[in-house]
Structure 1
Amino acid sequence: MVETDGTLLVELKNQNPIELRDLTLSFLALGQAYEDYVVSAGHEHIAGNVRLYVKELRSGSVIAELMAGADQAHAFFDNIETIAGFVTSLNDVLQFFLGLPLPTAQPPTKKLAEQLNQIIEPVAKDGGAQFIIQVNGDFHLDKRVTINSRDANAVQNQIGRFLSASVPQDATLRGEVLYLRRVSDETKGNIGDKGTIERLSPKLVPLRFDSHAAKQMILDQPYPFRAAFVVDVDVRTVSGRPALYRILDVTDVIPRPDVDGDEAPEDGEPSA
């Protein structure tokens, strides 16, 4: 078989049988992490347009060669540099949870931590297993993620602490970045208003605005779903997860890095 550049080679060297659910969720999380990276690194502006596809499954333990494809173009995505950057980024976060400093000052998002936790689940459960994720091609053989079962368990323990510490119980936070997903077009009510603060949770959370002025600041924007809002927020949690964001003040408006041109985020429509 002829090796080709620009693909992602994933190898799970297992000693014990792998539960199908764990393997499926591991690959799903890897694909989602790649989609997020492509957008955050500026290689693609439309979330979910470029995805990983299975090019080949090989004999051995579990060996998969994955390639990226662009939905809109229905073609191979020329991405050896993107794949290499993704592997480097994933390894940086892995090493962060093993106690090494990140190359950037920005900590990983909760979403990425959850994805990494799921990616390494199969190797964490198998005491003799090893997981290798690398760029396929001679030039980038140094771009790889390698983790054994002992380190995978250590990483999962650190991720657990990281996630439990990232959402304070019923706390008031300053300077959080809010993305809107749904919002009513009036200041009198909050019915249906929902948004995401990625640092706390990747999920949509209901919003309540503490004042007409705070909501009016959002409604005054010509394209509120193409913007991000820096807010002071009162976070209410249930079982350690955000259940309500009470917006106390909107202090700044910045462009959304994942939205370009006339494209609006999915679900981003005002409610009547």
Structure 2
Amino acid sequence: MSNLIEIDLSKKLEIKIDNRKPVGLEDLSLSLLSFNKQFHKFVDSETDELTDISSELLIKEVRKGSIVIELVSQASPIIPLLWEGGSLVQWTSLIQNVCNWLLGNTDSAPKDMTKQDLQDWNKIIEPIAKDNGSQMNINVSDGGKVINNFVFNSTEAAVMQNKISRLVEKIDTPEENKHLKKVMYWYQTKFDSSSDTGNKAIIDDISKSALKVIFENNALKEGMLHPDSSLKKPWQELAFVVDVEVQTVRGRPKMYKVLNYYPEYTFDPNDE
């Protein structure tokens, strides 16, 4: 006899895709499988190994212009409710928080994200990102009454995928290309905060040649443009301590990407 019972039978999570173009079977399948995988991971992270969790995705309805899927959640009877309001309600809130982070509406991820997590989220939103004008509606209802609802459209899905692509690329960057707390001084720069062209610097520990410099964000540029006035030197005559990522071409250093800047270590390179 199975020790699994369905909890919160009145609560259901519904995924509705309002599509404008036919949705590819592979895209839809990968989206739902990734959705299911992330739901399992969410529940597993909130429970212990004695709790047996399973879930099942049910295709409720498919018609021209929309695909409706229901997710049924199950858990062992030792915990009649995993969270206040039910696991599906909390899961939907997490989805919304992840999407808001990927859209740039919040600064930090609501949970630690591995490369596999990011790839799963990329697959979840793929059918929407590929279909201009489409949207995905995720909601939880209790006895037919909607208690949690979140919608994102194709434009937002594309923004999220771009963020995911940058994050995965950052994860894939070999650590040997990153150098911490290196002294950098300027060879030439126009230091236009709106442009990454015309800036070249030297980091003797890496290369004696002056290499092009770009920045992780504009805040780094602005910080280096306005060093502590007590140094009594213009920024272009100072040495800066930075974390950099070295970009290479055919194995030779060609560009520095400044990842971090330590203003407290800025100094005059001509001091003895």
TM-score for both structures, normalised by structure 1: 0.53
Q: Cα distance, 1:14 vs. partner?
A: 0.3
SS, match of residue 62 in structure 1: strand
Aligned to 2:137: 132
Q: Which residue of 1 aligns with 2:61?
A: 58
Counting only pairs closer than 5 Å after superposition, residues 35-184 of structure 1 correspond to structure 2 as 35-40=40-45, 42-45=46-49, 49-60=52-63, 61-70=66-75, 81-101=86-106, 106-137=111-142, 141-171=146-176
Per-residue displacement from partner, 1:148-195 (whole Å, max 9, x unpaired)? Answer: 00110110001000111123314499xxxxxxxxxxxxxxxxxxxxxx
1:31 to 20, 32, 36: 36
Unaligned runs of 5+ in 1: 174-272
Post-superposition CA distance 1:88-127 (Å, at most 9, x none): 1111111101102257775433332211111000011100
- How far did 1:8 drift? 1.2
After the TM superposition, which residues 207-218 of structure 1 pair with which residues of structure 2 at under 5 Å, given as runs?
none
Q: Match for 1:18 among 23, 26, 43? A: 23
Secondary structure (helix, strand or coil) at the match of 2:10 reads: coil
The residue that corresponds to 1:249 in the other structure is none
Aligned-residue identity in percent: 24
The equivalent position to 1:7 in structure 2, one of 12, 20, 29, is: 12
Q: Which has the higher contact order (CA 8 A, sep 6+)?
A: 1
Distance 1:110 1:147 in 2: 22
The DSSP-based 3-state class of the residue aligned with 2:170 is helix
CA RMSD of aligned residues (A): 3.2
Q: Distance in 1 between matches of 2:74 and 2:143?
A: 22
Q: 1:102 to 1:137 in 2, by over 3 A?
A: farther
Q: When the two structures are superposed, what TM-score results if normalisation uses the length of structure 2?
A: 0.53
Could you tell me which residue of structure 2 aligns to residue 212 of structure 1? Answer: none
Write the distance in 1 (CA, Å) between the matches of 2:147 and 2:153: 18
CA contact under 8 A between 2:11 and 2:143: conserved in structure 1?
no
Match of 2:40, SS state, is: helix
Summarize the Cα distance change of 1:44–1:23 in structure 2 as closer, same or farther, 3 Å threshold: farther
What is the CA-CA distance between 1:143 and the residue it aligns to? 2.4
Shift, 1:55, TM fit: 4.0
For 1:161-240, list aligned pairs within 5 A. 161-171=166-176
Residue deviations 1:201-223 (CA, integer Å, cap 9, x gap): xxxxxxxxxxxxxxxxxxxxxxx
2-side partners of 1:28 and 1:86: how far apart? 16
Deviates more, 1:87-96 or 1:130-139: 130-139
User: How many residues end up aligned between the 2 structures?
Assistant: 166
Return closer, same or farther for 1:136/1:56 CA change in 2, 3 Å cut-off.
farther
Q: In the TM superposition, what is the alpha-carbon distance from 1:83 to its structure 2 partner?
A: 0.9
1:5 is displaced (CA, Å) by: 2.8
Deviations 1:49-105 (Å, cap 9, x if unpaired)?
4232134512441001110234xx59xx85652111111111111110110225777
What amino acid is aligned across from residue 53 of structure 2 in structure 1? V
1 CA distance for matches of 2:98 and 2:174?
Answer: 25
Question: Is this contact kept in 2: 1:93–1:102, CA < 8 A?
Answer: no
The verdict on how the C-alpha distance between 1:150 and 1:87 changes in structure 2, with shifts beyond 3 A counting, is same
